[in-house]
Structure 1
């Protein structure tokens, strides 16, 4: 009997036909991503030290930022539109892919204008390298679009394969550079930004075979994509800035060594994000364009499970964090331990907040998520400008944690105001665990929750 139950659970988790199965695949991919990033951080930290790690962060951060900040919200709009009108997925894919390349080219121009000012505290060779690396912006935006299209059709096995392979390839490139004694900040930056090219090429063939992209002949489709996209773009760009505002600001306010310590602490704390990233990746395409009751019911369960898992994991890392820093990164990074504790707490709040925010995207209310990100940004910037000059990177960690708490407060109380329903409970219930085990639910959205 026990073997039958175990076999049934295994089939539900890895059959690819349920929400639990989808989350399982994405969760495994996110473990590879976070684990790969963690190992990449160890390799680079040991090879180039805190100062070199700070220079590496400066070189790879800005090209990716400019690309992701100029999406116009079209990738996330494609998810909603494909779920709403699946018969037009070819035209949606065509419009989305074309826009990603064109907007990537725009990102290069914007980056060339702003980058010298953003990295004015760094040596000339760091700025010069970062400017050349802006050429990967179209590739970065195209890669983002390709993985989003896999999400839109709930092809989470494929999505997990593509996303999980990228950090593995980056790690292999870094290890080869290290073995041959050529692992410098510049070469490491090239590995980070270019190692995913083989995966992207395979992804292009998969998207072409699955969607048969075509020129969008329907003006209404373009109008709908742009309308939703521009409303979601506020969320995209503010979210991109909010998630990196600490790095974006302190990179010009502290020395490279301090930046390296902060980046390492943040890298360890980001291990927790494997949980909410897996959930939110599946959540939006599962509930997009459903009724408000169904969206909130499913989101509530996802939030409660996410919060419980992240809280348990964070306590473990708070206890083991200093030891991890010492043995994994070497004694040169022991100074990152106090910052790590604060960033772990911030990661838990951020994970819960991002999961709650999916309900508004699914209910065609992306403007609420944009205001959510704006709330965090308006809190973070003055706090960072006030605290970093006084307390350095510890002040940055405190400021970032307070801004994330402000975002959570805003999104939680927006359920009643924007959707007309009570916000979901954050406390894990016994029926949540039962539903995860049995694939059934007694909440107001049984056909949705049962898929989890």
Structure 2
């Protein structure tokens, strides 16, 4: 009976079902990412782990810097302007070609400066990895947005799941063959990402049946794409800087050993916002185009329930995580356990603030999120330079925690001013429990004595 109820809940394409699917995918991605981190840490040691992280860093960082808001704009415009989907897709994909070439040349030229403290062979591998991976990451971001906007969340989750799954398989092959080389591991990551890009393009082939060469780009579509993209780009750029500046600080001020330690505890702490990230990824494309009251009510409930549930989970799991960190990665990684505690709390607060930010993006007002990001980033970067020389990795974690708290407070205040939402109502609503129980009864997860109540999500 319980199995039938769970199957019923997991089927369908509604908001709750999609969030559950994406949450399950997030958990699997986190598990795979953790396994990859364990294997690479065991294969390469702390210093080698730091060098491997440095090789991977700039491709991910630059993909976030030069996205120009196009993935988010694709979702927004596909939902708002029916019948122009092909032109939006064409504008997004064709624009990324010259961007990849120009940024690739810049990365190749300046990589010796960016990784000046690293060995020459690491710098050379980072050059090739960045130039080849960057266009694939830009393509993956647009493919994921296309899948979200067309409700192909199976493809969206597949892209996110298959990359770490294939990476893990490739690393396992290297480990079994005794090839303990960060350069071979980087090549594996390139090949597996290419395979996933090809698979996802095939799965979305019906949406990509476009006359790519009839005319370059429709002007109206381009105006809409880049118009909204320019408005969210600032938010996303600051989000990228916020999420990656800690690694830049470590690359600049600390050692490869510090980066190796930090990459492990940071990845382990991200386990705690799998559900919140699923909500953030699903709720924007699902709510874009709806009326304001519906958006605010849905976002508020998602924020409160996720924050409550994850806070209950995070406290005991932090201590379990420290035990597992020593057991799986090795005792030498335990010296970063304090940073792990701080990053775990930051993860929950940061995930909650991004759920709230979805209301501004869905209502076409990303400028308020941009202001929030500017303030939080300025405070966090300032604290990086203050705390890192004093406390090392713990200083970086403490600065991130302060920034997450600032983002949360600013977002709640902005919702109060812009949408006339009660602050107390945003933080607590006893109707959430009735809603949750009603949904569980409706899906027969718990027994109902009579008709189940609740609001459709």
How many Å separate the matches in 2 of 1:402 and 1:323? Answer: 26
Aligned position for 2:94: 98
Aligned position for 1:65: 61
User: 1:451/1:94 Cα in 2 relative to 1: closer, same or farther (>3 Å)?
Assistant: farther
The reply on whether 1:110 has 2:106 as its aligned counterpart is yes
CA contact (8 A) 1:357 1:369 kept: yes
How many Å separate the matches in 1 of 2:256 and 2:320? Answer: 26
Range with greater deviation from structure 2 (30-39 or 312-321): 312-321
Aligned position for 2:27: 31
Aligned position for 1:195: 192
Aligned position for 2:173: 176
Aligned position for 2:258: 258
What are the superposed Cα offsets for residues 36-64 of structure 1, whole Å, 9 maximum, x if unpaired? 10000000011111101111111101111
Aligned position for 1:425: 426
How many Å separate the matches in 2 of 1:212 and 1:435? Answer: 43
The reply on whether 1:158 has 2:155 as its aligned counterpart is yes
How many Å separate the matches in 2 of 1:158 and 1:100? Answer: 21
1:244-323 residue pairs with structure 2 within 5 A? 244-323=244-323
Range with greater deviation from structure 2 (257-266 or 92-101): 92-101
1:124-163 residue pairs with structure 2 within 5 A? 124-135=120-131, 136-163=133-160
Shift of 1:309: 2.4
How many Å separate the matches in 2 of 1:223 and 1:185? Answer: 43
Shift of 1:217: 5.6
> Number of paired residues?
440
CA contact (8 A) 2:280 2:354 kept: yes
How many Å separate the matches in 2 of 1:432 and 1:304? Answer: 12
From 76, 83, 87, give the equivalent of 1:80: 76
Aligned position for 1:371: 371
Shift of 1:372: 2.0
TM-score, L = length of structure 1: 0.92
Aligned position for 1:335: 335
How many Å separate the matches in 2 of 1:168 and 1:433? Answer: 33
What are structure 1's unaligned runs of at least 5 residues?
Answer: 441-448
What are the superposed Cα offsets for residues 282-330 of structure 1, whole Å, 9 maximum, x if unpaired? 1001110222111111101111121122212211222212211111101
Aligned position for 1:381: 381
How many Å separate the matches in 1 of 2:230 and 2:211? Answer: 22
CA contact (8 A) 2:91 2:221 kept: no
What are structure 2's unaligned runs of at least 5 residues?
Answer: 444-453
How many Å separate the matches in 2 of 1:310 and 1:119? Answer: 37
The reply on whether 1:395 has 2:395 as its aligned counterpart is yes
How many Å separate the matches in 2 of 1:435 and 1:189? Answer: 48
How many Å separate the matches in 1 of 2:67 and 2:217? Answer: 21
Shift of 1:451: 4.7
CA contact (8 A) 1:276 1:352 kept: yes
User: 1:39/1:296 Cα in 2 relative to 1: closer, same or farther (>3 Å)?
Assistant: same
Shift of 1:131: 1.3
CA contact (8 A) 1:289 1:364 kept: no
How many Å separate the matches in 1 of 2:191 and 2:385? Answer: 34
Give the secondary structure class of the aligned counterpart of 1:209.
Answer: coil
User: 1:436/1:111 Cα in 2 relative to 1: closer, same or farther (>3 Å)?
Assistant: farther
How many Å separate the matches in 2 of 1:366 and 1:187? Answer: 41
CA contact (8 A) 2:349 2:408 kept: yes
Aligned position for 1:437: 440
How many Å separate the matches in 1 of 2:91 and 2:377? Answer: 31
Aligned position for 2:42: 46
Aligned position for 1:446: none
User: 1:110/1:375 Cα in 2 relative to 1: closer, same or farther (>3 Å)?
Assistant: farther
Give the secondary structure class of the aligned counterpart of 1:195.
Answer: helix
From 107, 118, 122, give the equivalent of 2:118: 122
Runs (4+) off by over 6 Å: none
Give the secondary structure class of the aligned counterpart of 1:192.
Answer: helix
How many Å separate the matches in 1 of 2:87 and 2:58? Answer: 31
How many Å separate the matches in 2 of 1:351 and 1:50? Answer: 28
Aligned position for 2:354: 354
Give the secondary structure class of the aligned counterpart of 2:228.
Answer: helix
TM-score, L = length of structure 2: 0.91
How many Å separate the matches in 2 of 1:161 and 1:78? Answer: 19
How many Å separate the matches in 2 of 1:169 and 1:309? Answer: 31
User: 1:207/1:99 Cα in 2 relative to 1: closer, same or farther (>3 Å)?
Assistant: farther
From 176, 182, 186, give the equivalent of 2:183: 186
What are the superposed Cα offsets for residues 240-262 of structure 1, whole Å, 9 maximum, x if unpaired? 11011111111221111122111
